[in-house]
Homo-oligomer: A and B are copies of this chain.
Amino acid sequence: MAQKAGVSVTTVSRVINNSKPVSSELRERVERVIKETGFAPSEVARGLVHRKTKLIGLMIPKVANTFFSQLIEGAEQVAKANGFNILLTVSHMDMEKEVDYLSIFKDRQLDGIIFSVSQFTNLHRQFFNEFEIPTVFLGQQIKETPYPYILIDNFKASYEATKYLINKGHEKIGILKGPDYDISTGYERYRGYQQALQDAGLAVHDDWVFSDFHDINNGYRGMKTIMEQDELPTAMFACSDVMAVGAINYLQDHGFRIPQDMSIIGFDDAELSTMFRPKLTTIRQDSFEMGAEAMRCLIEQIVEKKTEKKEIIFPHQLIERESTAETTNYLRR
């Protein structure tokens, strides 16, 4: 390339990067050859020199889930706009895999990491102690690293969801939640639910609590389990829209009407929640924007070369639709 234009590689580098003045004659000559050959500098070699790869590691538990797939799109868009690309990994909630991927991120010298941790174990701790790499945590309050995290106030949102049901006259309220070790959808959301009940002088009924991964079948199973109890709730707080839909499926399949026979509130406001009938009353969180903001925050760390502990709390919003109603002549077994 350089000799084709009859100049030194340095000159080529200079016209490409506009890093130093080059006489218009040489510049033109170089530019012409670039056009002709379609030459473009190797990002790998550049990465070696600059110790920057312009690559962001994005690690999430699952792709096939509206929350995360939207989040990916938000992150990708911001990354692209700033000249970064995304290396995507899927952890499937497997903590060993997570740590494994972290070390791959390090070896590949990624410029930064956006990480939706399932659980912060000692191995995670060790990694972040040992290596310094700009990071943004997603969905969990990771307080023991110097890096920002971004999430909604799960406790508050769940408190509001439960309170909303209580205000509708419900006193018997069950919950379909994530696994216990999932801090946000398993632990925090349960806490909010619990607190709301307690503040209203209502008791938590253990038989109405069901925990598992968020998928439709578990929603179905969870609702089934609960409907097999002697005493039945009149409303359910589902910690995800898919859980809510699974629950509604079970109920409808067994002759119950929503919301007349059971009120159900979901969480996420996935596309699902408006295409499903009845349309879901739910808690909205803007996952696309959360992905975008996480990426912005990360890129800021990278270019400013400094990270400050930040807590970014995203707003949530209760959206009332058709799956919830006032308590009135509700069925009893």
Q: Is the CB of A38 within 8 A of B130?
A: yes
A7-36: contact bitstring with B at CB < 8 Å (1 yes, 0 no)? 000000000000000000000000000000
A285 to chain B, nearest CB (A): 15
Q: Are A109 and B42 in contact (CB under 8 A)?
A: yes
- Inter-subunit contact A45/B43 (CB<8 Å): no
- Check: A233 CB closer than 8 A to any chain B CB: no
Q: Say if the beta carbon of A107 comes within 8 Å of chain B.
A: yes
Given A48-B48, A275-B245, A277-B277, A43:B107 Cβ within 8 A: yes
Does A73 make an interface contact (CB < 8 A)? yes
Give Cα distance in the complex from A64 to B62, angstroms.
12
A40 to B108, CA, bound (A): 10
- As for how many copies of this chain the complex holds, the number is 2
CA distance A47 to B46 in the complex (A): 12
A191 within 8 A of B: no
Question: What residues on B are CB-neighbors of A42 within 8 Å?
Answer: 48, 107, 109
Contact across chains for A44 and B108 when beta carbons are under 8 A apart: yes
Shortest CB distance A204–B (Å): 28
Q: Which size bracket describes the interface of A in this complex?
A: 35 or more
Which stretch from A80-88, A165-173, A177-185, A311-319 is at the chain B interface? A80-88
> Is A216 part of the contact surface with B, judged by Cβ < 8 Å?
yes
A103 and B73 contact, CB distance less than 8 A: no
Q: In the complex the two chains form, what is the Cα distance from A89 to B88 in whole Å?
A: 10
In the complex the two chains form, is B107's CB within 8 Å of A41's CB?
yes
Q: Which of A66, A104, A108 has the most CB of B within 10 A?
A: A108
**A60-92 Cβ-contact flags toward B at 8 Å (1 or 0):** 001111100110110011001000011111100
Bound-state Cα–Cα, A130 to B38, Å:
9
User: What chain B residues lie within 8 Å of A86 (beta carbons)?
Assistant: 87-89
What is the chain B residue whose CB lies nearest that of A104?
Answer: B85
CA of A103 to CA of B42, assembled, Å? 11
Residues of B within 8 A of A76 (CB): 63, 88-90
Cβ of B252 and Cβ of A87 under 8 Å apart?
A: no
Query: Which residues from chain A sit less than 8 Å from chain B, CB to CB?
Result: 38, 40-45, 47-48, 53, 55, 58, 62-66, 69-70, 72-73, 76-77, 80, 85-90, 103-104, 106-109, 130-131, 216, 242, 245-246, 249, 252, 271-272, 274-277
A-B interface, 4 closest residue pairs, ranked by CB to CB distance from nearest = A64-B69, A88-B88, A63-B69, A43-B108
